[in-house]
């Protein structure tokens, strides 16, 4: 703080903040609540104040992988997962169809649509025949 005029507290505060973010600061403490020598609650506090660059330099980058904080990357990840699941679903349906053809119709239907199609009786062809006429009396 030496070198600054006495009335420039905002400049010195900015300088202190810049130094803290550049170097980083760790605040550690414990809070214990006891009642008659019985520990009821213990809270361990560990606070790190640093710039993003300094935190990455120290190997701390949890905010880049937290879905609630990085919506763009999580949306892309969800879309990729949905594409992978759709491809897997299609592959499994093809495999199931191949197994059905191999085993005959012994396998049960896998979708409600297939179940409905299997439950419907096959339509028999309609054959119309001419009615025999009775001779008049």
Contacts of 51 (CB under 8 A, 6+ apart): 21, 22, 24
Look at residue 14 in the predicted model and tell me its pLDDT. Answer: 83
Q: Is 34 left (phi over 0), alpha (psi -120 to 50) or beta?
A: beta
Running DSSP on this structure, what letter comes out for residue 33?
E
CA dihedral 120, 123, 124, 125 (to 10 degrees): 180
Instruction: State which residues of the chain have pLDDT below 70.
Output: 1-11, 67-75, 105-133, 135, 137
| Prediction pTM value | 0.34
**pLDDT per residue over 41-68, tens digit each?**
999 998 888 888 888 888 888 777 776 6
């Amino acid at each position: 703080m030496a070198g600054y005029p006495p009335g420039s507290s905002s400049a010195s505060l900015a300088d202190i903040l810049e130094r803290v973010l550049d170097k980083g600061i760790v605040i550690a403490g414990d809070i214990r609540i006891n009642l008659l020598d019985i520990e009821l609650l213990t809270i361990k506090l560990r606070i790190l104040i640093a710039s993003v660059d300094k935190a990455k330099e120290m190997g701390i980058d949890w905010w880049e992988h937290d879905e609630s904080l990085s919506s763009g990357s999580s949306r892309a990840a969800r879309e990729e997962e949905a594409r992978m699941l759709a491809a897997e679903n299609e592959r499994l349906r093809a495999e199931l169809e191949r197994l059905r053809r191999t085993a005959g119709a012994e396998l049960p239907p896998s979708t409600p649509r297939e179940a409905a199609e299997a439950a419907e009786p096959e339509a028999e062809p309609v054959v119309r025949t001419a009615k025999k006429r009775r001779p008049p009396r």
